[in-house]
Amino acid sequence: MVSADEVRSKYLKFFKDRGHVEIPSAPLVPENDPTTLFTGSGMQPMLPYLLGQPHPLGTRLVDSQKCFRAQDIEEVGDNRHTTFFEMLGNWSLGDYFKEEQLAWFWELLTAELKLPAEKLYVSVFDEDKETSEIWLKLGVPKGRIFFYDERKNWWSRSGIRKNMPIGEPGGPDSEVFYDFGGPHDCHPNCDCGRFMEIGNNVFMTYQKTAKGFVPLAKKNIDFGGGLERITAAVNNDPDIFKIDAFSSIIDVLGENITPQSRIIADHIKASVFLIADGVFPGNKAQGYFLRRLLRRAMVKMQGRLSPAIVDAVIKTYSQTSYFQNANVNLIKQTIAEENNKFEKTLHDGLKKLGEVSAFDLYQSYGFPVEIIEELYREKGLKLDKEKFAEEKKKHQELSRTASAGMFKGGLADQSEIVTKYHTATHLLHAALREILGNHVSQSGSNITAARLRFDFSHPEKLTDDQIKQVEDLVNTKIRENIKVDRVEMPKAKALAEGALAFFPEKYPEVTSVYSIGDFSKELCGGPHVQSTGEIGRIRITRQEAVSAGVRRVYATAIS
């Protein structure tokens, strides 16, 4: 059995030998791209460089990037879907192009990783004759080159050209598939599992603008290939859960490879990586997905959760630097706390079974749908699925409306005092970041005429001294009576300039940005006071923990 470590090392060395500099994996929560919750591909952290900014390490880069794809949660359980994976990636930033990339990838697969050439198939964008010529020259016979339209062979983060937002780069691509052999005659892009995509060469050459597509200043190569899938191909077994990067975790469970053990292994692994990158279980944004992963895994584990599984994940990656600075105890503690919370929820919910509706179990008690069904079945109760679906839909609409309201600033009303508190919230956010560090980001806000309440990411209780420093800094900025400025600008520009944003994906393409001197800059719908002096003075009255990693402070105005 060839290990994932071995495949990763061979890939990195192959491209380093060809002039590439290895860059470290970026965190799973994007650092400079608040438009998306998770890093889901190797190119994401490379975006500014693909758009033309010079990279400090040159024009040839290679890495293995930690990736998380939340949209695949429900798919996990078969032999090839995962939420967490490593994407091997190499880039040419205006350096080499198609000829070199395709020749090198072919050499890597056939000479270095020793995959039999006759098991490799390629797909090409149907307008891209140049690429099919290159494959033919490399020895791929006509019969193994397949042409598809943009639905399969155009790559951008948002898919086909029509769906790309202004500013987004993309281009035609050419994928390589491994044929695991199978019962029926099909084609490389069939979903049956016979053919598995093991690498995608993107010719990242266009950017969408308001006037249509324009060529990027430089032609880039963006290659990405799933490490786990390539390793499965090297071992000629289509079940990626058999490779050591999963089997080492499944072994600890003492189970065979089944849909259930695959879900546990994937979800716990993803959770350990997410917590190590600063995500904590919660009801919103990244925390919400982590909670879903953990709870789904916990349901399947039925009380067998132990810290040994966390150790197994960390040991699996001991040859990488992923967990070098991780706080392993914090990871274990976070999972154990969530487990306790969930057990209590289940316990309380079970007592209520029959008294409350299935929807309440789902919504208020956090039961996964499959568990509700099973409870109902066991107790011989009838679950009205239609009613459940209807209530769920109604709730989703309500929460959409509520979140639309929230993006008016989380304000109870637009009275003078509420407006003052709103501006104070911006000052508080900036002050917390200055005193505690840039890991602080808003995770919630609620304002009434009596007080402001502000939730933010931070792992521990603030000391009295820190509270005083934050309070003093806010009050200094109030005393300076700084003018509050509002400008309209494209969202991408605002974010690029470092404007803070709570749930940036909710803001329109052209959005208003409020600045308070050079102290604070946030995407926001207002309203705000004209100058900070109007606020008076504030005092932080209370702090508490919302969940692991999220703190809450309350403040009132004292004028």
Point out which residues bind ligand ALA (CB under 6 A).
41, 43, 155, 200, 202, 222-224
- Cβ distance to ligand ALA smaller for residue 134 or 253: 134
State the nearest-atom distance from the C-beta of 43 to ligand ALA, in Å. Answer: 4
Q: Do 453 and 429 contact (CB within 8 A), yes or no?
A: no
Beta partners for residue 68, in sequence order: 84
Distance CA 474, CA 472 (A): 5
State the nearest-atom distance from the C-beta of 315 to ligand ALA, in Å. Answer: 28
User: Residue 517 — φ and ψ, nearest 5°?
Assistant: 55, -140
User: Residue 366 — φ and ψ, nearest 5°?
Assistant: 70, 25
- Cβ distance to ligand ALA smaller for residue 150 or 222: 222
- Cβ distance to ligand ALA smaller for residue 202 or 435: 202
Three-state DSSP class for 460?
Answer: coil
Please provide the DSSP assignment of 27-78 as one string.
PSS-SS-TTSSS--STTGGGHHHHTTPPPTT-SEEEEEEEEE-GGGGGGBTB
CA distances, 237 to each of 7, 179, 234, 241 (Å): 15, 10, 8, 10
Q: What H or E segment, with its residue span, contains residue 197?
A: strand 195-209
State the nearest-atom distance from the C-beta of 45 to ligand ALA, in Å. Answer: 11
- Cβ distance to ligand ALA smaller for residue 171 or 409: 171
State the nearest-atom distance from the C-beta of 481 to ligand ALA, in Å. Answer: 49
State the nearest-atom distance from the C-beta of 311 to ligand ALA, in Å. Answer: 31
State the nearest-atom distance from the C-beta of 202 to ligand ALA, in Å. Answer: 5
Q: In the structure, how many helices (H) and strands (E) does the chain have?
A: 17, 16
Q: Do 81 and 203 contact (CB within 8 A), yes or no?
A: no
Distance CA 159, CA 298 (A): 34
DSSP state of 383: P
State the nearest-atom distance from the C-beta of 155 to ligand ALA, in Å. Answer: 5
- Cβ distance to ligand ALA smaller for residue 64 or 520: 64
- Cβ distance to ligand ALA smaller for residue 52 or 526: 52
State the nearest-atom distance from the C-beta of 176 to ligand ALA, in Å. Answer: 12
Q: Do 421 and 557 contact (CB within 8 A), yes or no?
A: yes
Q: Note the residue count of the chain.
A: 559
- Cβ distance to ligand ALA smaller for residue 47 or 330: 47
State the nearest-atom distance from the C-beta of 80 to ligand ALA, in Å. Answer: 15
- Cβ distance to ligand ALA smaller for residue 155 or 241: 155
CA dihedral 14, 15, 21, 25 (to 10 degrees): -90
- Find where tokens 């011989």 sit: 380
State the nearest-atom distance from the C-beta of 229 to ligand ALA, in Å. Answer: 12
Q: What H or E segment, with its residue span, contains residue 466?
A: helix 464-479
482, amino acid identity:
I
Residue nearest to ligand ALA (CB): 224
Distance CA 141, CA 488 (A): 55
- Cβ distance to ligand ALA smaller for residue 46 or 120: 46
Distance CA 512, CA 90 (A): 37
Distance CA 43, CA 35 (A): 14
Q: Do 263 and 296 contact (CB within 8 A), yes or no?
A: yes
DSSP state of 111: I
